[in-house]
Structure 1
Amino acid sequence: MRIDEKNFHVRDLAYTIRSATENDANTLSKVRIQIDGETEYMDREKGEAYIDELSFKQIIKEDTEAAHNLFLVCETNGNIVGFSRCEGSLLRRMAHKVEFGVCVLKDFWGYSIGTHLLKETISWADTNQIKKITLNVLETNEKAVTLYKKYGFEKEGVLKKDKLLSDGNYYNTLLLARFNE
C-alpha cells in the first residue's frame, strides 16, 4: 500500500516521509547494511541477512500491491536516512495484524524520524482497519520502549536471553503491541 508523502522540519533538518519506490532499492540495500553496523539494537550484525537491490525491488513491489503491507522511507537532501516496514499476513486468521520494524541512520537520531515513521504507520493502520501492530524491541533500547509506550503500545511478553550482544551477555527482547479497537 502507499501513503501520501509528508514533509517535516525538526530543528535544522527538513525531511520527507513517503512510500518506498523500486527506485529506492539500491540505496535501501546500502543503508540497511550501514544501520546494522551502527547499533546493536537491530537483529543483524553488519552484512548479515543481506538484501540486494533486486530483492528490495521485489519487497517494495509486493508491499505496494498488498493491502496490509507498508514500506516507508525518510529522505533528506535526496538521501534515504531511515525506513520502516509493516508486514501483514494473507492468512484470514491473522489478517487483522501487522508487524512493524524501523531503523534510522545514527547521524539522524534525535530528529524525530522514528517518531514520524511510527505516527504515519499508526495513521495508516487505523485508516485501514488494522486491529493490531506488533513489534520486537531490545530491552536496553529504552528510548524506543518509551516512544512505543507513548503511542499506545503495551508489553505482551518477553523473550528471555534472546540476543547475544558484543559484551558477551544475553539480553531480553520485549514483545509490544498496539491495539485499535
Structure 2
Amino acid sequence: MVVVREALTSDARDILTFCRQIGSESDNLSYGHEGLGISVSDEEKLLTKVHEDERSCFLVAKEADELVGTCNCSGFRKARLSHRAEIGIAVKKAYWNKGIGRKLLTRLINLSRQSGLKILSLEVRTDNKGAIHLYESLGFRRIGTFEDFMEIDGESIDFDIMELFLEKS
C-alpha cells in the first residue's frame, strides 16, 4: 500500500536518489540522470525551509520503504505573488498509472487550500497526454504554451502552462 506523507529532513538522501532514478527514466523532467545536482545537506536545508513556509509543502509517496513519488508546492515570497505557488510532481515509471500521482496531487491541493493559496501552476510537456489528463481531471486548465521550453538531444520541446484556481474548484 502506498502512503503519502509530508517529507522529513531525514528523507533528503532518498529524495536525491529518487530524482537521479526518475531523471534517467523519463524525459518529462527538467533534469536527467544527474538528478538535482545538490548535496544531501542542501536538500535537508531546502526541506527545512519548506517546513517553515506555510505556503510550501513537499510530499512523498512510499510503498514500504521505497520512495515511489514526490509532489511539491513552492509559494512565492513576494507579497504581490503570495497567493500563488508552483508545483512539481514525479512518480517512478514502474508506478505510473496506479493512482499515485492523483493521490499526491489531491493531498497537495487540499493542503494548499488550507494554507490560503489561491492559484497553483505547473508546466507539462505538451505531448504528455497522461499527465495532462490527470491535471485536467483535478481542475487544472491550460492557459498557454512555452515554445522550446526544453531541449533534449538537440530537439526543442514545448510545455503547456496549466493553472488551478483553488477558490473556483
* 1:37-56 pair list within 5 angstroms: 37-47=24-34, 49-56=36-43
d(CA) in 2 for partners of 1:129, 1:138: 28
- Which residue of structure 1 aligns with residue 120 of structure 2? 133
d(CA) in 2 for partners of 1:119, 1:15: 14
Question: Any unmatched runs of 5+ in structure 1?
Answer: 1-13
d(CA) in 2 for partners of 1:115, 1:137: 15
- Which residue of structure 2 aligns with residue 171 of structure 1? 157
Superposed displacement of residue 180, structure 1: 2.0
d(CA) in 1 for partners of 2:129, 2:64: 29
d(CA) in 2 for partners of 1:54, 1:116: 28
d(CA) in 2 for partners of 1:164, 1:65: 34
Aligned-residue Cα RMSD (Å) equals: 1.2
Normalised to the residue count of structure 1, the TM-score between the two structures is 0.88
Q: Which amino acid aligns with 2:72?
A: R
Identity %: 25
Superposed displacement of residue 50, structure 1: 1.0
The one of 93, 96, 113 equivalent to 2:83 is 96
Normalised to the residue count of structure 2, the TM-score between the two structures is 0.94
d(CA) in 1 for partners of 2:39, 2:66: 18
d(CA) in 1 for partners of 2:42, 2:126: 30
Question: Any unmatched runs of 5+ in structure 2?
Answer: none
Match of 1:130, SS state, is: coil
* 1:1-181 pair list within 5 angstroms: 14-47=1-34, 49-166=36-153, 168-181=154-167
Q: Which amino acid aligns with 1:125?
A: S
